[in-house]
A and B are shown apart, each in its own frame.
Chain A
Amino acid sequence: MTEPLLRVRDLKTYFVTEHGSGTARAVDGVSFDLHAGETLGLVGESGCGKTVTSLSVLRLIPEPPGHIRPGSFIEFAGRNLLTLAPRELRAIRGNQIAMIFQEPMTSLNPVFTVGYQIAEAAIVHQRLSRRAARTRAIEMLKLVGIPDPAQGVDHYPHQMSGGMRQRVMIAMALVCHPKVLIADEPTTALDVTIQAQILELLERLQAELGMAIMLITHDLGVVAGSADRVVVMYAGQVVEQAPTPELFARPLHPYTEGLLASVPRLDAPPARARGRLHGIPGQVPAASDWPGGCRFHPRCPYAWDRCRDEEPPLLDAGAGEPGTHTVRCWLLTEPQRRTARAPLP
């Protein structure tokens, strides 16, 4: 296997809670790799720490109340992003690693034209002249499929629809041809037909430009269709990590299993279409109060004493090379404890 492009090790991002009394361990020891040209899906429900993870990569966590703990390590092109001087970090932001966000409405500045906002990163990083920047902005708008780019360049964000705005965000992120694109729930705020357009666009751009994509989403369907590998997060930790086909064929962590069983499916056979869903009982605990032992144990249908007392490490599931499929669950040591699941009460 080649050297990864982005290597995250033991990332811990904590927040001081509202009344300053507690600490929310939003991201608590997350490790994963992103390889050149691949799409890595980062899945989990709200409050599992996936967005904080993505923001931590570019150190966009608001400090205070947040801070990344010493000992965390995010390596990009041989350098630890967490110890870079602000100046060096800025040279990477938007230039080598770019981001797009969930809300294309609020993530664009309402008082500047989309052309200016797209070109700005190129003006800053590549010292483009105004004229060249404008030309570049038009090229980018054409690339992301905005009709009539020569006109669109002078439009303001509010004059565009949600889907068009997300295209502008993508154009803005890709203007310097970054090696990594972090997409934080890029289609959550959009309708399904528009979501399909954006996902197709990202796929096409990846084929054309060759960047690696870190796709953060709560939608298992989106991951299944777009990602090469999937990292499943729960309670600030990685609980399972595997290539996409492997993960969907053989979900080993009870949380992954439960997530898959929770979703009503369009491809379900008619016999199974109605009836009860086999989901996960309870809810995600608060980040200031993770349960001891395995953090999933209070909601886990298989939990036994060991799960309450001892936190499992990421164990290798033994598929292909070591590290291909890893799971944070004691069931891997005692597989006979996995029994048929009962439907939700």
Chain B
Amino acid sequence: MNVWNWLAVGGAAVLALVVVAEIRRRTGARASGRRFFRHPTAAPAVFVLAFFVTVALAAPLVTPYQPYFQIDIARLANHPPSTQNPLGTDPLSRDVWSRLVYGARISLGIGAIAMLVAVTTGVVVGGVAGYFRRWVDATLMRLVDVGLAMPRMFMLLMVVALWEHVPLAVLVLLIGLTGWFGTSRLVRAEVLSVREREFVAAARALGAEPGRVIFRHVLPNAAAPIIVSAALGIGNVMLLEAGLSFLGLGVPSPAPSWGNMIADGFPKMAVAPWCATFPGLAISLVVMALNAVGDALRDALDPRKETA
């Protein structure tokens, strides 16, 4: 790793700090913003996320090698961390740091996109069920019951293993489409409770049509728990992806994802522990940050504290 790479990493860290400070400044005027940052882990968590996102976006700047590049299979395989290879090299003499950074693109991307798919589906299904109630609700919720009765991991394994060569995009879609059942229940419960509130009755009394009632009055007030569950859900998806990759059924191998980096390093644990340790640490750190942000958001967006 050369001087420029180190500088770029430093720059990413500084940028992440700036992001934290900026978010803090912008939300400081609102009580919810202050409640968020009162959590001791909230600011470090935002920093961790901002740092990993920055590094992932600026991957070519902060890494010395391409993720697939085998530096020197004869002399530089399983090399421990050094100034050249800060996180060591793997059995194929690839730079672990470079793979970790490019892996962040895949792992974070899968987490974010799959969650987006899941949340969108969940909000639509839950919102429709909760607003229209009666047979629409009953039918959709029985569907959700079935979805929840199939262990997610199991379902994914089946689909992925039985269809040969699942492309990454399909994998992401599959993860998302198996993850909305819980969200839809949550949204439905929220919608059911919000639609009984008096401001919704007031809007109807004023002659607002259903669309306006749903999008302006019901959903914005049901958003808090959805946002929280989305933050926690990204972490879950990342762990799921890691698990799938670990079983050899996730992101197809040479592409670096944190999950298959662990899987690749796993057999060499005794010889080159850094291969599996660092990606595992990265996942833990990011998931931990997401969980911390979720916890802080839960407090910050709690509507009971809004009126206090």
By a beta-carbon cutoff of 8 Å, the part of chain A in contact with chain B is: 18-20
A19 / chain B contacts, CB cutoff of 8 Å: 31, 34, 38
Shortest CB–CB separation between residue A19 and chain B, in angstroms?
5
Q: Report how far A18 CA is from B35 CA in the complex, Å.
A: 9
Contacting residues of chain B (34-67) with chain A, CB-CB under 8 angstroms: 34-35, 38
Shortest CB–CB separation between residue A158 and chain B, in angstroms?
20
Is the CB of B3 closer than 8 A to any CB of chain A? Answer: no
B38 / chain A contacts, CB cutoff of 8 Å: 19-20
9 contacts between A and B (CB under 8 A): A18-B31, A18-B34, A18-B35, A18-B305, A18-B308, A19-B31, A19-B34, A19-B38, A20-B38
Closest A-chain residue to B305, C-beta based?
A18
Count of B interface residues, CB-CB < 8 Å: 6
A18 / chain B contacts, CB cutoff of 8 Å: 31, 34-35, 305, 308
Shortest CB–CB separation between residue A209 and chain B, in angstroms?
38
New A-B contacts (7) at CB < 8 Å, excluding given A18-B31, A18-B35: A18-B34, A18-B305, A18-B308, A19-B31, A19-B34, A19-B38, A20-B38
Shortest CB–CB separation between residue B238 and chain A, in angstroms?
33
Q: Report how far A20 CA is from B38 CA in the complex, Å.
A: 10
B35 / chain A contacts, CB cutoff of 8 Å: 18
B34 / chain A contacts, CB cutoff of 8 Å: 18-19
DSSP class of A's interface residues: helix, strand, loop or mixed?
A: loop
A20 / chain B contacts, CB cutoff of 8 Å: 38
Q: Report how far A20 CA is from B35 CA in the complex, Å.
A: 10
Q: Report how far A20 CA is from B37 CA in the complex, Å.
A: 13
DSSP class of B's interface residues: helix, strand, loop or mixed?
A: helix
Closest 4 CB pairs of A and B: A19-B34, A18-B31, A18-B308, A19-B31
B305 / chain A contacts, CB cutoff of 8 Å: 18
Q: Report how far A18 CA is from B305 CA in the complex, Å.
A: 10
Q: Report how far A19 CA is from B34 CA in the complex, Å.
A: 7
What are the interface flags for B281-308 relative to A under an 8 Å C-beta threshold, 1 for contact and 0 otherwise?
0000000000000000000000001001
Q: Report how far A18 CA is from B38 CA in the complex, Å.
A: 10
Shortest CB–CB separation between residue A308 and chain B, in angstroms?
31
Q: Report how far A18 CA is from B308 CA in the complex, Å.
A: 9
Q: Report how far A19 CA is from B31 CA in the complex, Å.
A: 8
Shortest CB–CB separation between residue B34 and chain A, in angstroms?
5
B31 / chain A contacts, CB cutoff of 8 Å: 18-19
Shortest CB–CB separation between residue A110 and chain B, in angstroms?
19
Closest B-chain residue to A20, C-beta based?
B38
Shortest CB–CB separation between residue A319 and chain B, in angstroms?
42
Shortest CB–CB separation between residue A342 and chain B, in angstroms?
34
Closest A-chain residue to B308, C-beta based?
A18
Q: Report how far A3 CA is from B34 CA in the complex, Å.
A: 50
Q: Report how far A18 CA is from B31 CA in the complex, Å.
A: 9
B308 / chain A contacts, CB cutoff of 8 Å: 18
Closest A-chain residue to B28, C-beta based?
A19
Q: Report how far A311 CA is from B237 CA in the complex, Å.
A: 62
Shortest CB–CB separation between residue A51 and chain B, in angstroms?
15
Closest B-chain residue to A21, C-beta based?
B34
Q: Report how far A194 CA is from B308 CA in the complex, Å.
A: 30
Q: Report how far A191 CA is from B251 CA in the complex, Å.
A: 65
Q: Report how far A1 CA is from B38 CA in the complex, Å.
A: 53
Shortest CB–CB separation between residue A179 and chain B, in angstroms?
36
Q: Report how far A19 CA is from B28 CA in the complex, Å.
A: 10
Contacting residues of chain B (167-223) with chain A, CB-CB under 8 angstroms: none
Q: Report how far A250 CA is from B308 CA in the complex, Å.
A: 37
Q: Report how far A165 CA is from B31 CA in the complex, Å.
A: 37
Shortest CB–CB separation between residue A255 and chain B, in angstroms?
26
Shortest CB–CB separation between residue B105 and chain A, in angstroms?
38
Shortest CB–CB separation between residue B56 and chain A, in angstroms?
34
Q: Report how far A85 CA is from B223 CA in the complex, Å.
A: 47
Q: Report how far A18 CA is from B304 CA in the complex, Å.
A: 13
Q: Report how far A236 CA is from B34 CA in the complex, Å.
A: 27
Q: Report how far A20 CA is from B31 CA in the complex, Å.
A: 11
Q: Report how far A19 CA is from B27 CA in the complex, Å.
A: 13
Q: Report how far A239 CA is from B269 CA in the complex, Å.
A: 76
Shortest CB–CB separation between residue B145 and chain A, in angstroms?
28
